[in-house]
């Protein structure tokens, strides 16, 4: 996917209540067989009907060589409830009061950042942590950690412990495969520096999950040195919630024996640990990580799929057993290497994955260059290490999509947002919510109630349980990209029981075009 280079700035925006009255658009056709979604799609068409072309858009959110703060980071605090009318005749934008919505630590607009919620009990309490992502002009941020308090909803910038004192030089710490102007003819592999540096290279489209109360796990992603490059990473970094300290995971494992130089035909790469060859997932982006606890009580992650550096899509499943800060990798299933038995999902990237009761991983959607976007559901069982397709009992189901989010709760899986359409230029963001009942195998589209986020894809998301007795899970959403190539930096949470949205921080925009569309 060729993502847009425009960043989106700095005009306050809150939720949108879409109208069902909208003129038809030839480039926003509803997918066949998804009639139940028609009203939601029409509402989104109204929102995007004025998006226009951004090909000649001048980005006003450029930073200086001294990295001065953008308007997105300079916005004031204390917005009162306001009603703004005039974006479109059929769309109302509602501003609501959010305690301390802006501050010096507000993240700039970005796509595909890493996100986690530090659970109650960690030293920094229950806060939202955001790191890196892709912003203006294709720049991937190497900035601080951004922390949003779930008490007063204020942002602050925090340096990790390794970042205190003397400034560290950031370089990619593991083997990586590069595509771009300097390597258009062949991938370039760079060996890991020794000893590894203490800070991860900024990136986007990484796989991210939260490991219990301990910290955030970040694997792979795209970490270009310059805008326009594509550098596929294979490293794993662990962020300790207690100290906000980054650690580069040392790899141990089994399940493959190919070296990094031959990984263009393999889903595994290998590194050398004290002379021994160690198998690990190859460099990739747009894959997924989910966390669980195994039968021995060990913290583990499951990695699935993604986009490899040579353009090949993957369908491999890896288990990573974490002994902080080390990971032992084992390959569980891979049709390319003949590992495992039975059918498997088609190779894909940009899918959504959730863990079900520490016993199975559910995968929904994603995208293939050959087959386009998917709407299928698959289950990978940890008991027999087999895939099983889950065929819906009725014809109603979400539109095919990628770059979306999923959350599991009480025997159901909720899907939100994403991108519909194979080509970036002809695609559109989605803002619908669908609920899949695992017992009845039926999909139902949730109605819009109250404020809701703008349609979006390439956003960061995570599921968490708020502190307090009787609290139930939420899906947290941050940033991403909406219509017209406009990036976002707002935060929302969805109650997985009441299915109502709550906005935690305001959105801002950088470009005049985005302000005209949404401001």
Burial (Cβ within 10 Å: 0-12, 13-18, ≥19) of residue 369? middle
- Angstrom CA distances, 204 to 115, 298, 357, 454, stand at 11, 28, 29, 21
Residue-level pLDDT at 176: 52
Strand arrangement, sheet containing 16-17: 16-17, 91-95, 82-88
Identify the helix (H) or strand (E) that includes residue 288: strand 288-293
- Asked whether residue 67 carries a pLDDT value surpassing 60, the answer given is no
Instruction: Identify the residue with better confidence: 364 or 483.
Output: 364
Q: Given a cut of 60, is residue 458 above it in pLDDT?
A: yes
Provide the b/e sequence for 388-415 (b: ≥16 CB within 10 Å): eebebeeebbbbbbbbbbbbbbeeebbb
- Which two tokens mark 306? 């993604």
CA gap 231, 277 in Å, rounded: 23
How far apart CA 476 and CA 493 sit, in angstroms, is 4
Note whether 429 and 482 are within 8 A (CB).
yes
Tell me 192's DSSP state: P
Residue range 454-481: mean pLDDT, rounded: 93
Confidence of residue 392 (pLDDT cuts 50, 70, 90): very high
Between 51 and 384, the higher pLDDT residue: 384
d(CA 15, CA 450): 9
163: left (phi over 0), alpha (psi -120 to 50) or beta: alpha
Q: How far is CA 312 from the centre of its chain?
A: 20
* Burial class, 157, CB count within 10 angstroms (exposed 0-12 / middle 13-18 / buried 19+): middle
* Mean pLDDT, residues 403-408 taken together: 99
User: Across-strand partners of 501?
Assistant: 494
425 band by pLDDT with thresholds 50, 70 and 90: confident
Per-residue confidence (pLDDT) for residue 423, from 0 to 100:
74
pLDDT at 406 over 60: yes
Q: What is the pLDDT of residue 165?
A: 43
Mean pLDDT for all residues in the chain = 75
List, for residues 85-131, the tens digit of each pLDDT value.
233 332 333 333 333 334 467 899 999 999 999 876 655 668 999 99
Q: Rounded CA gap, 327 and 217, in Å?
A: 11
Check if CATH label 2.40.160.10 holds for domain 16-518: no
Nearest to 494 by CA among 442, 469, 459, 458: 459
Range scoring the smallest mean pLDDT among 53-67, 258-272, 278-292, 478-492: 53-67
Radius of gyration in angstroms for the set of CA atoms belonging to the chain, rounded to a whole number: 22
Q: What angle do CA 135, 136, 139 make, to 5 degrees?
A: 65
Tens of pLDDT, residue by residue over 245-298, are: 999 999 876 543 322 322 334 566 544 444 455 689 999 999 999 999 999 999
Segment 362-366 mean pLDDT: 99
Q: Which of the residue ranges 72-81, 337-346, 422-431, 459-468 would you say has the lowest mean pLDDT?
A: 72-81
**Pairing mode, if any, of strands 176-179 and 188-190?**
antiparallel
Least confident of 5-14, 400-409, 499-508: 5-14
Residue-wise pLDDT for 166-202, tens only, equals 444 444 444 455 444 333 333 444 444 445 457 899 9
> Which of 280-294, 419-433, 503-517 is the least confident region?
503-517
pLDDT digits (tens, 9 = 90+) for 146-158: 999 998 899 999 8
CA distances from 42 to 37, 46, 74, 165, 431 (A): 9, 6, 36, 53, 11
Q: Are strands 188-190 and 207-211 parallel, antiparallel or unpaired?
A: unpaired
Mean pLDDT within 40-68? 35
Task: Please say if the pLDDT value at position 344 is more than 90.
Answer: yes
pLDDT at 301 over 80: yes
In the chain, % of residues over pLDDT 90: 52
pLDDT of residue 161: 65
Q: Report whether pLDDT(509) > 90.
A: no
Nearest of 385, 294, 279 to residue 329 by alpha carbon = 279
Separation between Cα atoms, residue 163 and residue 170, nearest integer Å: 10
What pLDDT does 138 receive? 87
pLDDT 10s digits, 129-148: 999 999 978 889 987 899 99
Single pTM value for the model: 0.76
pLDDT number for residue 382: 98
């Amino acid at each position: 996917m060729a993502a847009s280079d425009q960043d989106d700035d700095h005009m306050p925006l809150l939720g949108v209540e879409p109208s069902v009255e909208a003129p038809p658009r030839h480039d926003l056709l509803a997918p066949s067989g998804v009639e139940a979604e028609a009203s939601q799609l029409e509402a989104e068409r109204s929102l995007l009907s004025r998006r226009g072309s951004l090909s000649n858009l001048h980005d006003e959110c450029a930073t200086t060589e001294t990295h001065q703060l953008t308007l997105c980071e300079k916005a004031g605090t204390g917005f009162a409830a306001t009603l703004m009318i005039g974006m479109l005749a059929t769309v109302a934008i509602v501003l609501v009061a959010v305690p301390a919505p802006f501050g010096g630590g507000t993240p700039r607009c970005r796509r595909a950042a890493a996100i986690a919620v530090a659970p109650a009990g960690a030293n920094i309490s229950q806060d939202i942590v955001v790191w890196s992502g892709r912003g203006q002009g294709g720049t991937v941020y190497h900035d601080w950690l951004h922390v949003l308090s779930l008490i007063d909803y204020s942002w602050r910038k925090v340096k990790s412990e390794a970042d205190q004192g003397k400034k560290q030089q950031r370089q990619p710490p593991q083997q990586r495969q590069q595509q771009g102007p300097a390597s258009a003819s062949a991938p370039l592999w760079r060996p890991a520096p020794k000893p590894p540096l203490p800070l991860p290279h900024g990136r986007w489209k990484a796989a991210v999950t939260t490991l219990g109360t301990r910290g955030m796990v970040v694997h792979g992603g795209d970490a270009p040195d310059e805008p326009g490059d594509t550098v596929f990473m294979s490293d794993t970094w662990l962020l300790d919630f207690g100290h906000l300290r980054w650690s580069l995971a040392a790899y141990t494992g089994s399940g493959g024996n190919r070296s990094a130089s031959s990984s263009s035909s393999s889903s595994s790469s290998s590194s050398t640990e004290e002379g021994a060859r160690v198998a690990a997932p190859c460099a990739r982006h747009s894959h997924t990580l989910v966390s669980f606890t195994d039968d021995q009580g060990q913290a583990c992650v499951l990695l699935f799929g993604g986009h490899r550096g040579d353009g090949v899509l993957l369908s491999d499943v890896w288990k990573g057993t974490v002994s902080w800060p080390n990971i032992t990798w084992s390959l569980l299933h891979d049709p390319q290497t003949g590992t495992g038995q039975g059918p498997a999902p088609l190779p894909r990237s940009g899918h959504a994955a959730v863990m079900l009761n520490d016993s199975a991983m559910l995968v929904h959607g994603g995208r293939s260059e050959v087959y386009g976007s998917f709407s299928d559901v698959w289950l990978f069982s940890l008991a027999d290490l087999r895939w099983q397709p889950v065929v819906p009992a009725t014809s109603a189901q979400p539109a095919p999509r990628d770059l979306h989010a999923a959350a599991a709760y009480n025997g159901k899986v909720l899907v939100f947002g994403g991108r519909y359409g194979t080509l970036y230029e002809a695609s559109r963001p989605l803002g619908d919510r669908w609920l899949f009942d695992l017992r009845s195998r039926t999909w139902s589209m949730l109605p819009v109630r109250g404020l809701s986020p703008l349609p979006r894809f390439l956003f960061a998301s995570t599921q968490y349980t708020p502190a307090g007795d009787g609290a139930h899970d939420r899906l947290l959403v941050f940033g991403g990209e909406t219509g017209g190539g406009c990036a976002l930096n707002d935060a929302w949470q969805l109650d997985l029981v009441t299915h109502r949205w709550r906005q935690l921080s305001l959105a801002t925009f950088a470009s005049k075009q985005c302000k005209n569309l949404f401001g």
